Amino acid sequence: MTVHEVLSIGHPALRQRATETPLEQIASSEIQNLIDDLIDTMRHAHGAGIAANQIGATQRICVLEVNNNPRYPYKPKIPLTVAINPVVKTVGTGTFLNNEGCLSVPLRGDVKRFTSAHISYLDRHGDNQVFDAHGLTAATWQHEVDHLNGVLFIDKSDPATLTTWEEFETHHRPAFLERITNLQNEWTK
């Protein structure tokens, strides 16, 4: 297992669509080692998720986990999830404005995300997994699958809302937390 450098905006790998991983390759040491490296790299960088192309790998694999994350203390917990060939299908027309950050982009910005999504993927054992995600969890999945499609959050962000992490913490975090807390309360009613 290895912690990799996370590629930064401008690296061509971030703009390429990752390729599907054949079912018969999932058990290979190459894919299993990549999965372990993604987990170690995500945890080391305190990310909520990371896609394989963020470390220069071409496979359509991402990992997600939110558990007392210092970068995202407001996000609902997501157990460690390994998603191979994930598909996100948005459900309904409901959207919300999410303020997102990224391990590959040293900025934050507002992105319109669908409130609900139907998620399907293969886990690290090759078993099919299907569930529905809502709110910030749905947004996290949308963000990671965007990466696998070569799309960065800034492509969908209102440029006027882009800010550095430091300026977000200083000037924008309280308003965002209030907005997202109110939305989370609505979603749980």
Task: Tell me 13's DSSP state.
Answer: G
Lookup: tokens for 91: 């459900």
- Report the sign of the C-alpha dihedral through residues 33, 38, 39, 44, in that order: positive
Three-class SS state of 158 = coil
At 52, phi and psi to the nearest 5? -55, -40
Assess contact for 66 and 27: CB atoms under 8 A. Answer: no
Question: Whole-angstrom Cα distance, residue 59 to residue 18?
Answer: 5
From 24, 65, 100, 144, active-site residue = 144
> Kind and range of the H or E element at 100?
strand 78-102
Contact yes or no for 86/146 (Cβ under 8 A): no
In whole angstroms, what is the distance from residue 153 CA to residue 174 CA?
Answer: 21
Query: Is 144 tagged catalytic?
Result: yes
Length of the chain: 189
Catalytic residues: 144
